[in-house]
Structure 1
């Protein structure tokens, strides 16, 4: 898609900035400062990674597309960006308190979704959070992909769903504005005695 110059998700970044800010505000309320380490999964050219850094997170952005990562590094030289596959996250990245996935998980097949979840689990600090934006099931799924709550919970078996909220569709063009996007917040599953 980068080679073709077709990156509709980047247009959504500007339109979604207030929505993303509200989700991050909720996540950060009650946290000590600085908030900790964050991993931006499928960061592309760094649409959201700089916002996390601006908010005080020690952030790392990862994407499998080298060209996108190089562009992110050029734009934001003070932020760490790595070429890495979200389905095979390297342990050398360290551990994290927050995982941000905006549209990455939904584009993976079930086996790769489970692999992303295993990698996130391996790199999660105690009490970590996953914030995920995913388009819902719709007749436009072939065009814009998507993931239902069931898909997320099937992959993230070591995590529990803490919150689900509708995402703002302002700025989303057709057909993405017809996909019922949702924000999912997950935390590590607690072991009950």
Structure 2
């Protein structure tokens, strides 16, 4: 069962913040101009809007209707166009997205998926990107106890994305004030991957 619709209804959404994570800003600033960006598990759209404000043609995908509705309102308020899709990140091939995405952002979606769902998501992302594409993935490390996503290691990331992607960097998150205290042992980490040009 997908817990996210209920969590949105209850207002328990610690992943939704107004500030764009420092690592997202750093990676986006490394590129002088935008391209096509895909935001997986976009939530209420803060990161998608940030990318659109910087010239990216953005598609944001989330599986929760309430999140997509809030994201639509956010982009309208900011005066930017984002293609919002209510859809399943493990079935990207069914969403009619085309291809040619230059940048994929996943700020906490992938690490909550089952092994099979991760395989399908990784295959979908690979199918939508080409040589030179980059993927920035935020995830917790696996934990034995506690609430929240089950997490993922660098080895897991490499295994799921396989030989098509290179892990460029593994960086501990510096925005620790965003993490609720009950997830204190989660060791939030950013993974930057690239497809060889």
TM class by shorter-chain length?
Answer: 0.7 to 0.9
Aligned to 1:50: 49
Kindly state the Cα deviation for residue 189 of structure 1 after the two structures are TM-superposed: 5.4
Q: Which residue of 1 aligns with 2:98?
A: 94
- Greater shift after overlay, 44-53 or 86-95? 86-95
Aligned to 1:149: 154
1:8 aligns with 2:14: yes
Give me the TM-score of the superposition, normalised by structure 1.
0.86
Residue in structure 2 matched with residue 71 of structure 1 by the alignment: 70
Query: What per-residue deviation string (whole Å, max 9, x for no partner) do you get for residues 127-183 of structure 1?
Result: 111110111123445434311112212211132211111111133221333211111
Aligned to 2:178: 171
What's 1:126 paired with?
131
For residues 102 and 15 of structure 2, the distance between their equivalents in structure 1, rounded to whole angstroms, comes to 25
Question: Residues 83 and 135 of structure 1: is their aligned pair in 2 closer, same or farther, counting only changes over 3 Å?
Answer: same
Instruction: Give 2:4's aligned residue.
Output: none
- CA shift for structure 1 position 15: 5.2
Q: Distance in 1 between matches of 2:20 and 2:95?
A: 31
The TM-score normalised by the length of structure 2 is 0.84
Other structure's SS at 2:157 match: helix
Aligned residues of 1:160 and 1:189 also touching (Cα < 8 A): yes
How do 1:27-46 and structure 2 match up within 5 A? Answer: 28=31, 31=32, 33=33, 35-46=34-45
Alignment of 1:99-114 (within 5 A): 99-114=104-119
- Structure 1 partner of 2:22: 18
Aligned to 2:192: 185
Flag structure 1 segments of 5+ consecutive residues without an equivalent. none
- Whether contact under 8 Å (1:144, 1:176) holds in the other structure is no
Paired residue total: 183
